[in-house]
Amino acid sequence: MKIIVGLGNPGKKYLKTRHNLGFMVIDRLAQQLEMEYTQKKFQSLFCKKSVDQEDIVLLKPQTFMNLSGVAMKEAVDMYKCSLQDLMVICDDLDMPLGKIRIRRSGGCGGHLGLESIAGRLGSTDFSRLRIGIGRPADGDPSDYVLSPFSKEEEHMKEEAIEEAYQALKTWMFEGIEACMNKFN
């Protein structure tokens, strides 16, 4: 079983913001795998499907970004999923817009959603796919992450979502090493 969690904030107010890039990627994955969020479970929008003999669980926590660990911990406990079978998708201020990076484990880099997950799981030994949103030249980063992409940035955002989707397919069926080798 693989559990894939896209991080973001619930509600229309945040729908198209930079901080919801994890939701955008997991929505693309759900669409491509013909999965639908038909229920709410683990304080998340939830769907599960067997794909090529692999059970895939997709989660979009509805706890707000900084409490994402609450939802993820419930799912991990319920399915008794090992940390190596978890993937978290999130935005990253410290990477250029549109760049993706996959890691098998590591620090949280100040990302409060990842910190919440690491705190609840008691470990940072879970895979993560980070997507760069860039850092604002000036102003408050918290305002920036909650702002929508500009018209000029839309193309780069869409390319990043597609690349992230391809990386997730590789991770699900070929493993983390193949995924990192192909996409980092």
pLDDT of 84-133, one tens digit each?
999 999 999 999 999 999 999 999 988 989 999 999 999 999 999 999 99
Instruction: Give the pLDDT band (50/70/90) at residue 181.
Output: very high
pLDDT (average), residues 27-41: 92
Residue 34, pLDDT above cutoff 90: yes
47 bridge partner residues: 58
CATH number of domain containing 75: 3.40.50.1470
Is 155 labeled as catalytic in the residue annotation? Answer: no
Instruction: Give the pLDDT band (50/70/90) at residue 21.
Output: very high
Indicate the average pLDDT of the chain: 94
Residue with more model confidence, 109 or 57 = 57
Q: Which domain holds residue 56?
A: 2-183
Residue 178, pLDDT above cutoff 90: yes
Angle between helices 154-174 and 176-183 (to 10 degrees): 150
* CA-derived radius of gyration, the chain: 15
The greatest distance separating any two alpha carbons of the chain, rounded to the nearest whole angstrom, comes to 48
Q: Which amino acid is at 121?
A: L
Cα–Cα distances in Å, from 54 out to 3, 5, 173? 11, 16, 8
- Kindly tell me the burial class for residue 90, based on how many C-beta atoms sit within 10 Å of its own C-beta (0-12, 13-18, 19 or more): buried
Q: Which of 18, 19, 73, 130 is catalytic?
A: 19
Number of domains in the chain: 1
The closest alpha carbon to 71, from 129, 132, 22, belongs to 22
Q: pLDDT value at position 95?
A: 95
Question: Residues of 140-170 as b/e, b for ≥16 C-beta within 10 angstroms?
Answer: eeeebbbeebeeebeebbeebbebbbebbeb
Cα–Cα distances in Å, from 136 out to 85, 94, 140, 147? 34, 10, 8, 11
- Kindly tell me the burial class for residue 180, based on how many C-beta atoms sit within 10 Å of its own C-beta (0-12, 13-18, 19 or more): middle
- The predicted model scores a pTM of 0.94
Q: pLDDT value at position 109?
A: 87
Tokens of 15: 């729908």
